[in-house]
Structure 1
């Protein structure tokens, strides 16, 4: 018995030491991360990527002897370019192609639109160097979400228009509800033929467990200061007055949504399209919701002639704990989006 007691005490000491080491490691990691920058800005030259792909495909069509000659010429060319760049760097000259630039941003929105944190950094970075002859293309994918989140995202895009820099939004899959709120800020909206567009409406639902709790003889007390501090609740008994106020708030939000879209696209028959319905790209063109039917790939390829196309991404650094909790939240969010899309769309 004494042996078991000593063994248990020994295990307790080991566990204590391991936990202490783990806590110290977490503290060190957090302190290290605080010292780092909040994120990293990455710029990718899409024009160069396309050019390299094109050259690689052209080389693959040559015979073996021609391929050897081509690779030799490419090696010589790259060596000369590196030599020129080095000479310019020594003289303090900036390497500038002189071509107008197309700044490409990506926004794949979730229900809470937390991606706006990266979007605001990307837009700030682009506006710090963009010239009047440049333009911005946003590749957008979102079924919408919370009003305040997507309202902020739309306001971030408005910063580009306020600087008189042409803004194009391309949609390959979906820009509905809050997603369309963002898209309509653009000077031009480009949509793939079968992309989902529109859904200018507002929806909210609240489950209520009051009857279930009553059946279990559980009372819920809710105290508020202010007549409409709570309209509908999860656990308390909802009133018809509260329901009416909740519907009024929804209608008011819908009216703000409609006014915003109408202000961004004055030629749009807002009463015809603000019914909460959605359309495919070709139908959306007929209704005036978009301007061009095309994929984002085709649109960007068309812009590469005489322009330099650059993709800008801001990658946020996540804390150690956020990496675990964030991945679970993202999975749940993607599941909700899939349910929404399946519930709204027929399967083919």
Structure 2
């Protein structure tokens, strides 16, 4: 495979893995934890590297995952104090941990590839050049192999604990009664999210990780209420975002990280605007229709109880009043008798149903 195809493969696998993790965060109302984790794993990652000096050591992933869990624990500890809001607690902890990580990078790792630009933007364009060679056999880019393993772990965890996850996320009290230990299950998948974050950290950077963990799941949530479908749709949106962003980057001759993040945002905006039930346009039309129906009922009730039938007494904009009157006449709810308006039997039936 060419370098371009390997880059696209790495971007796609990373996107799907992050989208699945982000979906679990979204349905548990913890989407911003992805922002915190993408920053909070840095201290554990760089501290482990300072002592080990081995890019390929699995201890790096473990240390970063531990760092992420420390962030979750500290955030929950501050939340339980009830002295600050949940968002404030998360912001305080992850900002503090990320700044500590940046200080360590600047002081101890100035001459390595753990520099600030790599942390923020990632190194996706060069990822295919770092090959995993075992026993003289080239298994492909190391990042692709690592992210495929993480994708397999995430999918396996979701499949094996799907029912328990649904109960723990949507009804933790019931989960406690069934002795499913929702807190332990939550820590397990947050640990998996931490591992995914650090596995994608060097390739995607903090910007792309956050974009892929929030935008595709948020877009999928606008299209479905079911967890299984949400996971599938989020994976599809992430795949389309990675492919579209990659080819956009190719045309612009820039690093793929920014265009992929931007494309995921564009995908969200398109679905946000045109989703059939929860999209902005559908919601706006539904509100306009409901408002028109309310005005129509007010007009019918007013005509039914006011002998003079002076509609100027209704506090409704004249344009809306005229439009609703025309619709009521056209649909057979009102009948014009000279200069007067009269309710039809259809209008009386509608008023009885409404009141």
- Using the size of structure 2 for normalisation, the TM-score is 0.22
Comparing both structures, which one devotes a greater share of its residues to strand? 1
Comparing both structures, which one devotes a greater share of its residues to helix? 2
- Using the size of structure 1 for normalisation, the TM-score is 0.22
